[in-house]
């Protein structure tokens, strides 16, 4: 609707004008202005959108009316309809912004609506033109801003990817926005799931400002549950924008008067905090702050800050992965060096004493010592290899458990008997405190023994001469709890979080006081967790001992326990196997010689072969009572041999007993050997007496 201001002292003229307006503009409204007061009120109300005015008024003139209307509403059309003007007045009025100038006459009254329509059309065209110009200007401004943002993001990205050093990337993140996007910036990083708000990475346009920001964070770090800033962004993962920072906000944030003073000194005008997210992980936050009145952050700035946060998170994650890869390589190289050292050390003793024995220049006591040393170091070699194989199975998730109901007291006691000589050699006292009422757990007895042996042998290894080791068994709620504590060298606070990691050892120098591969505790953790339990370590620090706690769930349903197999130790006497024919097959001549010697000592008749073909040739003529065969051999393996032997046998119900004697020692290797046709599986290295005992059990 058109709202006309009709400004004229002559009521008759106003009547004629209104009549013409009603003919042309059915939807309109007219406000009659005949004095200065009503005109000023109309200017205050600002409800009109067209003005028709006379020039000569008793209380004013047309040029004054035009100026006041333009001051109030610059886009409102104004037509001067008068019979008292001059050419000079008309020119002055048009220069002042008048839309049209008409002389009053009977003929001109009918032309007034046409002039009004034309003025409206011109104003509409001008408005559309102005809109187009404004859109063009806004588009240019936005294009320029987009170009600046793209350039800034490209430069920031270049800075972020310029290094894979973790600390350097953190510094680059802080400095990438200075000074183009912020006057100061600080980065808070999540380390081991927590944030130390007193140690941000800070960058600012001046060293003094940087020092002030750091002072504020060190003395007044935000609380983890703070309702604003980095703490809130870390909790929620959503950004925060404060376009303006009024005094009331400072009063709310300040923890005391000194804090308020420092905040005022900072003179922050606006800030944004954005998360650094990678996937569903928040690596930290970046806070951008401005101290300039002409740079108060907007939603567009926040969107760019979010993009910066995302790119910074990727760079930080890549740097962290690179650092972890470098650390993994270092640990791997270190582990290989340790493996070489640990395997060569017992080999040195084995080779040395073997050469001394070959010289036959040793008395009986020295020879006994030599044999004892050879046996001990061979067992050590076997243990090292077992640990390496266990770690390989853990990595491949191929460890299998034979779980039954187990009473822990006899399991622990058996391990105590094994390690007691080690403790006695160092004058270490072992104290055991058992609660006999502890319920049964479901687990693999052999693996439970391995867990306890690893922890106990570690405790003895790292405890000095004359120290003390305590083993406790108790029940805590529905958990069986084993605690092994010692008075040994302890664990540093820095190393404690990594004590169960693979290949980790507290000392990484050539002056290592204690042997081992650094695998035992990693194996412990995996085996405990596989059996539904958990293990953790505590230490007050270096030189203050360590405590390892294993918790295993007690089953409400008490399962029937299997009797523990008798342990076969080395005995002086061997069972006689007079006239027993044994065929031994192995491609390793040393193994053949040792096995033949042991069996012949038991009065067995032994034939040997180094391949499947040779074994089959001997088999048909020798007609053995027992077959002992390796698995891994050239051309054909032991599985082929046993299958062909079974085909040669006339009576499947009277098959020859067969033992797989092999270095393939995994549980699945044992199952494969039994499925192929062997009755027993023995893993190398084997105790010769155990082999004799197994043969005796097969033929009895």
pLDDT of the residue at 59: 94
- Please tell me whether residues 227 and 122 are part of one structural domain: no
User: Each residue of 434-469: b (16+ CB within 10 Å) or e?
Assistant: eeeebbbbbbbbebbbbbbbbbbbbbbbbbeeebbb
Tell me the CATH number at 530.
3.30.565.10
pLDDT of the residue at 671: 87
pLDDT of the residue at 431: 95
Among the listed ranges 478-487, 540-549, 678-687, which one has the minimum average pLDDT value? Answer: 678-687
Q: Which of 310-314, 434-438, 485-489, 526-530 is the most confident on average?
A: 485-489
Contact, 657 vs 649, CB < 8 A?
A: no
pLDDT of the residue at 561: 42
What's the average model confidence in pLDDT over 540-553?
94
Share of the chain above pLDDT 70, in %: 92
Kindly tell me if the per-residue pLDDT of 511 is higher than 70: no
The predicted-structure confidence for 91-120, as pLDDT tens digits, reads as follows: 999 999 999 999 998 788 989 999 999 998
- Please tell me whether residues 192 and 311 are part of one structural domain: yes
Nearest to residue 629, comparing CAs of 681, 578, 675, 593? 681
The predicted-structure confidence for 28-70, as pLDDT tens digits, reads as follows: 999 999 999 999 999 999 999 999 999 999 999 999 999 999 9
Alpha carbon distance 233, 228 (integer Å): 7
The predicted-structure confidence for 122-173, as pLDDT tens digits, reads as follows: 988 988 999 999 999 988 988 887 787 777 777 777 777 777 787 888 888 8
pLDDT of the residue at 573: 55
**Which comes out higher in pLDDT, residue 395 or 695?**
695
SS3 230: helix
| Cα first-last separation, the chain | 118
- Please tell me whether residues 391 and 408 are part of one structural domain: no
- Please tell me whether residues 295 and 183 are part of one structural domain: yes
- Please tell me whether residues 239 and 348 are part of one structural domain: no
DSSP-derived letter for residue 607 is E
Beta-sheet pairing, 546-553 with 479-486: antiparallel
pLDDT of the residue at 328: 78
- How many CB atoms neighbour CB 585 within 10 A? 28
3-state secondary structure 661-699: EECCCCHHHHHHHHHHCCCEEEECCCCHHHHHHHHHHHH
- Which residues, 6+ apart, have CB-to-CB distance to 417 below 8 Å? none
Q: Is residue 571 part of a domain?
A: no
Q: Is residue 337 part of a domain?
A: no
Alpha carbon distance 432, 684 (integer Å): 34
DSSP-derived letter for residue 83 is S
The pair of structure tokens assigned to 455 is 């922890």
What's the average model confidence in pLDDT over 480-501?
91
Q: How confident is the model at residue 508 (pLDDT cuts 50, 70, 90)?
A: very low
Beta-sheet pairing, 184-191 with 194-195: antiparallel
- Please tell me whether residues 530 and 593 are part of one structural domain: no
pLDDT of the residue at 571: 35
Q: Which of 218-222, 327-331, 468-472 is the most confident on average?
A: 468-472
Contact, 278 vs 333, CB < 8 A?
A: no
Q: Is residue 440 part of a domain?
A: yes
Give the number of domains in the chain. Answer: 5
The pair of structure tokens assigned to 532 is 């539904």
What's the average model confidence in pLDDT over 323-346?
73
Alpha carbon distance 21, 2 (integer Å): 10
The pair of structure tokens assigned to 699 is 């033929």
- Please tell me whether residues 381 and 258 are part of one structural domain: no
Q: Is residue 143 part of a domain?
A: no
- Please tell me whether residues 472 and 383 are part of one structural domain: no
pLDDT of the residue at 370: 84
What's the average model confidence in pLDDT over 294-298?
88
What's the average model confidence in pLDDT over 659-685?
86
pLDDT of the residue at 341: 60
pLDDT of the residue at 609: 94
Q: Please calculate the CA angle 7-8-12 and round it to the nearest 5 degrees.
A: 135
- Which residues, 6+ apart, have CB-to-CB distance to 283 below 8 Å? 189, 190, 276, 277, 313, 316, 317, 320
Nearest to residue 462, comparing CAs of 567, 350, 542, 374? 542
Contact, 204 vs 213, CB < 8 A?
A: yes
Alpha carbon distance 257, 290 (integer Å): 23
Nearest to residue 80, comparing CAs of 100, 50, 104? 100
Residue showing tokens 């939603």: 299
Q: What average pLDDT does the chain have?
A: 86
What's the average model confidence in pLDDT over 187-214?
88
Q: Is residue 186 part of a domain?
A: yes
Kindly tell me if the per-residue pLDDT of 558 is higher than 80: no
Alpha carbon distance 451, 526 (integer Å): 10
- Please tell me whether residues 361 and 379 are part of one structural domain: yes
- DSSP H helical ranges for 176-256: 207-219, 229-236, 247-253
- Please tell me whether residues 182 and 66 are part of one structural domain: no
Contact, 676 vs 643, CB < 8 A?
A: yes
- Which residues, 6+ apart, have CB-to-CB distance to 350 below 8 Å? 374, 377, 378, 381
pLDDT of the residue at 78: 96
- Please tell me whether residues 301 and 387 are part of one structural domain: no
Among the listed ranges 366-370, 437-441, 487-491, which one has the minimum average pLDDT value? Answer: 366-370
Nearest to residue 186, comparing CAs of 541, 175, 194? 175
The pair of structure tokens assigned to 583 is 């065929």
Q: How many CA atoms lie within 13 A of 662 on its CB side?
A: 25
Kindly tell me if the per-residue pLDDT of 201 is higher than 80: yes
Domain of 87, in residue numbers: 2-127
Q: Is residue 424 part of a domain?
A: yes
Residue showing tokens 């200007």: 137
Alpha carbon distance 244, 233 (integer Å): 18
Beta-sheet pairing, 441-443 with 78-82: unpaired
The predicted-structure confidence for 172-194, as pLDDT tens digits, reads as follows: 888 888 888 899 999 998 887 77
- Please tell me whether residues 593 and 667 are part of one structural domain: yes
What's the average model confidence in pLDDT over 560-575?
42
DSSP-derived letter for residue 497 is G
Tell me the CATH number at 20.
3.40.50.2300
Kindly tell me if the per-residue pLDDT of 460 is higher than 60: yes
Q: Is residue 145 part of a domain?
A: no
Among the listed ranges 19-33, 68-82, 449-463, 676-690, which one has the minimum average pLDDT value? Answer: 676-690
State CA 376 to chain mean position distance. Answer: 44
Contact, 595 vs 584, CB < 8 A?
A: yes
Q: Is residue 573 part of a domain?
A: no
pLDDT of the residue at 578: 87
């Amino acid at each position: 609707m058109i709202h006309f201001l009709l400004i004229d002292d002559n009521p008759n003229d106003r009547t004629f004008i209104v009549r013409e307006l009603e003919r042309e503009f059915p939807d309109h409204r007219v406000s009659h202005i005949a004095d200065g007061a009503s005109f000023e009120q109309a200017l205050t109300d600002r409800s009109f959108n067209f003005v028709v005015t006379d020039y000569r008024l008793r209380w004013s003139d047309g040029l004054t009316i035009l100026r006041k209307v333009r001051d109030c509403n610059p886009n409102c059309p104004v037509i001067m309809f008068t019979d008292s003007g001059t050419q000079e007045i008309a020119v002055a009025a048009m220069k002042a912004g008048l839309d049209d100038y008409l002389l009053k006459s009977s003929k001109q009254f009918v032309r007034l609506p046409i002039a009004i329509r034309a003025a409206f059309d011109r104003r509409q065209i001008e408005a559309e033109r102005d809109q187009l110009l404004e859109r063009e200007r806004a588009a240019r401004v936005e294009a320029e801003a987009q170009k600046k943002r793209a350039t800034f993001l490209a430069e920031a990205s270049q800075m972020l990817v310029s290094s894979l050093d973790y600390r350097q990337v953190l510094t680059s993140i802080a400095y990438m926005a200075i000074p183009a996007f912020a006057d100061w910036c600080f980065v808070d990083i999540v380390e081991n799931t927590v944030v130390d708000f007193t140690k941000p990475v800070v960058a600012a346009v001046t060293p003094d400002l940087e020092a002030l920001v750091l002072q504020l964070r060190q003395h007044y770090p935000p609380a983890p549950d703070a309702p604003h800033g980095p703490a809130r962004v870390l909790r929620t993962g959503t950004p925060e924008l404060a376009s303006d920072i009024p005094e009331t906000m400072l009063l709310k944030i300040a923890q005391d008067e000194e804090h308020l003073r420092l905040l005022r000194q900072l003179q922050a005008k606006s800030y944004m905090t954005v998360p650094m997210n990678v996937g569903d992980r928040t690596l930290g936050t970046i806070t951008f702050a401005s101290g300039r009145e002409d740079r108060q952050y907007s939603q567009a700035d926040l969107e760019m800050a979010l993009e910066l946060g995302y790119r910074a998170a990727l760079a930080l994650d890549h740097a962290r992965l690179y650092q972890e890869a470098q650390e993994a390589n270092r640990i791997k190289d270190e582990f290989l060096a340790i493996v070489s050292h640990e395997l060569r050390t017992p080999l040195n003793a084995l080779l040395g004493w073997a050469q001394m024995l070959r010289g036959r220049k040793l008395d009986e006591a020295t020879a006994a010592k030599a044999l004892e040393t050879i046996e001990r170091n061979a067992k050590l070699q076997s243990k090292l290899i077992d640990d390496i194989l266990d770690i390989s199975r853990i990595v491949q998730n191929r460890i299998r458990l034979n779980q039954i109901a187990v009473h822990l007291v006899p399991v622990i006691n058996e391990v105590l008997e094994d390690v007691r000589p080690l403790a006695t050699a160092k004058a270490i006292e072992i104290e055991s405190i058992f609660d006999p009422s502890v319920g049964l757990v479901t687990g693999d007895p052999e693996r439970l023994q391995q867990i306890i042996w690893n922890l106990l042998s570690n405790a003895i290894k790292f405890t000095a001469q004359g120290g003390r080791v305590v083993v406790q068994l108790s029940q805590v709620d529905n958990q069986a709890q084993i605690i092994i504590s010692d008075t040994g060298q302890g664990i540093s606070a820095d190393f404690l979080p990594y004590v169960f990691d693979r290949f980790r050892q507290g000392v990484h120098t050539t002056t290592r006081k204690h042997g081992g591969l650094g695998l035992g505790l990693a194996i412990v953790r995996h085996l405990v967790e596989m059996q539904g339990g958990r293990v953790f370590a505590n230490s007050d620090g270096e030189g203050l001992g360590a405590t390892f706690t294993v918790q295993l769930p007690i089953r409400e349903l008490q399962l029937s326990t299997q009797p523990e197999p008798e342990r076969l130790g080395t005995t002086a006497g061997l069972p006689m196997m007079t006239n027993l024919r044994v065929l031994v097959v192995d491609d390793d001549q040393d193994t053949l010689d040792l096995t033949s010697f042991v069996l012949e000592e038991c009065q067995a008749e032994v034939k040997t072969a180094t391949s499947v073909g040779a074994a089959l040739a001997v088999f048909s003529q020798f007609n053995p009572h027992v077959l002992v065969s390796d698995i891994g051999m050239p051309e054909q393996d032991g599985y082929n041999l046993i299958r062909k032997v079974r085909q040669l046998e006339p009576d499947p119900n009277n098959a020859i007993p067969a033992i797989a004697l092999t270095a393939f020692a995994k549980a699945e290797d044992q199952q494969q050997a039994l499925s192929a046709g062997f009755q027993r599986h023995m893993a190398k290295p084997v105790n010769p007496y155990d082999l004799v005992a197994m043969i005796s059990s097969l033929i009895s």
